[in-house]
């Protein structure tokens, strides 16, 4: 079963990439747009359930959270932003 899933995923990825390379380019924000600005982004699965969230909290700190299929938080960033070198 896992092998079949991997093969189907590879075929779908190849087909999608081939189709996308043949389509006309679309500029959602207009030509020359280089930055997408938002106060948050959400990730949903194929059933429409929220599975991820990237936001800025009330203290203006970035926050990243992941959810299981029941909507429970299974991972989140803590402690605000930190410089990583």
Burial class from Cβ neighbours inside 10 Å (0-12, 13-18, 19+) for residue 65 reads: middle
Would you state the pLDDT for residue 53?
94
Q: Does pLDDT of 40 surpass 70?
A: yes
pLDDT band at residue 57 using 50, 70 and 90 as cut-offs: confident
Cα(41)–Cα(53) distance, integer angstroms: 6
Three-state DSSP class for residue 72: coil
Q: Does pLDDT of 37 surpass 80?
A: yes
What's the number of CA atoms in the CB half-sphere (13 Å) around residue 81? 9
Would you state the pLDDT for residue 36?
79
pLDDT band at residue 70 using 50, 70 and 90 as cut-offs: very high
Would you state the pLDDT for residue 72?
93
Helices (H), 1-85: 2-22
Would you state the pLDDT for residue 28?
59
């Amino acid at each position: 079963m896992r092998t079949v899933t991997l093969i189907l995923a590879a075929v779908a990825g190849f087909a999608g990439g081939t189709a996308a390379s043949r389509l006309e380019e679309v500029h959602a924000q207009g030509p020359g747009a280089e930055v997408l600005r938002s106060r948050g982004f959400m990730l949903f699965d194929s059933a429409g359930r929220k599975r991820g969230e990237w936001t800025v909290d009330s203290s203006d700190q970035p926050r990243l959270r992941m959810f299981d299929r029941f909507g429970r938080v299974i991972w989140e960033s803590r402690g605000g932003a930190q410089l990583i070198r």
